Amino acid sequence: MPIRQLDIQGVRNLAPLDITPSPLVNFIYGDNGSGKTSVLEAIHLLAAGKSFRSTQVRQVLSHERDRCEIRLRFQRDDETPERELYHLRLKNGDHLFRLDESLLSAQSQVAALLPVQVIEPNTFRLLSGTPEDRRQFLDWGVFHVEPAFIEEWRMFRQTLKQRNSALKQDQGDWLDVWNSGFIESAARIDQFRKAYLTLLVAEFRKTLASLDDSLDVNLNYYPGWDRESDLASVLERQKDRDIQLGFTQSGPHRAELRITVNRVPAAEVLSRGQQKTVVSALKLAQGIVFKQQTGTAPIYLVDDLASELDARHRLALCQVLEDLKCQVFITSIEKNQLMDGWAPADFKVFHVEHGQLQEETLA
């Protein structure tokens, strides 16, 4: 699903740019602060509606402008026509998304059209971060391979909100009303997640072995309640405590992907370098499963790769990306850190200096 044309205006210190990237590998290099990461950030802002560098989206906008605009043309495959995605975001928070000439009403519609995976320094917190971080990682995959998931998740969130409201107001008689829909929706979400994880685990093991065959890491799914009991029994058992706390303790909103080595959290026993390798394998495995299930590959944004992995693991990761035949935007400070030892079949090189991006002519 390559981006054919990319137009960015008003993003951080980047000068307006309009480029035609390679459908496969795009090397972007430049000094720290030059703007190379901002190119990746702009793509992610369009695809996900948020930055991977900052929790405040307004910080992505240039200080000199009151808006940013991101426009790209993409093509699912050679058999389908090009489409145009456009995103306008103002400093006051207003924004819109447009596909060709039609406005899109939800960020999820854009995400479905432009699946993007990010590998960058903060990504490696997946192991040491919160259960929510790992739950979001899992649900990215479920969302992209199971069309019914997003609507089911919205229904569940609404039911959870209503149940929590009844708990806060100590309306115990209303809990039976909300419990039925809550339990039914929870069961479907749980089923979606389990089915996806079966696919992910198989590819993760193969991918991790290709990056580092000395690592033995397990993925286990916790549904958000005691596995030995059905959810209805758990809710009944926790009813008084839920009322006391004012919120629902158990359910899919408390699910987690547990990543362990010999039953110990991987973050507690693996070195920082090993953790980076494991997270890279997780991200790559998601892309492989996505391609298996949809027939097309996601776009990978890989930021500052050279500082995150040593040369051996870096080359192994790049080889997996090349085998996946996906479009990649990959940054580093020095060109040789990107290109030494790796010569993909189709690539372009871009240099960023003081916010100006220029494509380099290849000899």
Q: Is 325 annotated as a binding residue?
A: no
* Closest residue by Cα to residue 350 from 341, 75, 338, 299: 338
- Tokens 């992995």 correspond to 309
Q: Could you tell me which residues come within 8 angstroms of residue 292 by beta carbon, excluding any fewer than 6 positions away?
A: 199, 203
CA–CA separation, 160 vs 246, rounded Å?
A: 12
Q: Is 30 annotated as a binding residue?
A: yes
CA–CA separation, 58 vs 11, rounded Å?
A: 10
Q: Where are the beta strands (DSSP E) in 245-286?
A: 256-261, 264-265
User: Three-state SS for 360?
Assistant: strand
Cβ-contact 28, 350 below 8 angstroms: yes
Q: Is 210 annotated as a binding residue?
A: no
Rg (CA), the chain: 22
Token pair of 315 as six digits: 């080359």
CB atoms within 10 A of CB 16: 15
CA 145 to each of CA 85, 117, 197, 334: distance values in angstroms, whole numbers, following the listed order:
21, 14, 11, 37
CA–CA separation, 230 vs 120, rounded Å?
A: 39
Q: Is 164 annotated as a binding residue?
A: no
Q: Is 348 annotated as a binding residue?
A: no
Handedness of CA 168, 171, 172, 178 (dihedral sign): negative
DSSP 302-315: E-SHHHHS-HHHHH
| In 72-223, alpha helices (H) | 107-113, 131-145, 149-168, 172-211
Q: Is 31 annotated as a binding residue?
A: yes
Q: Is 93 annotated as a binding residue?
A: no
Cβ-contact 34, 332 below 8 angstroms: no
Token pair of 86 as six digits: 């456009």
CA–CA separation, 119 vs 334, rounded Å?
A: 18
Q: Is 33 annotated as a binding residue?
A: yes
Q: How are beta strands 299-302 and 264-265 bridged, if at all?
A: unpaired
Binding site listing for ATP: 30-37
Binding residues: 30-37
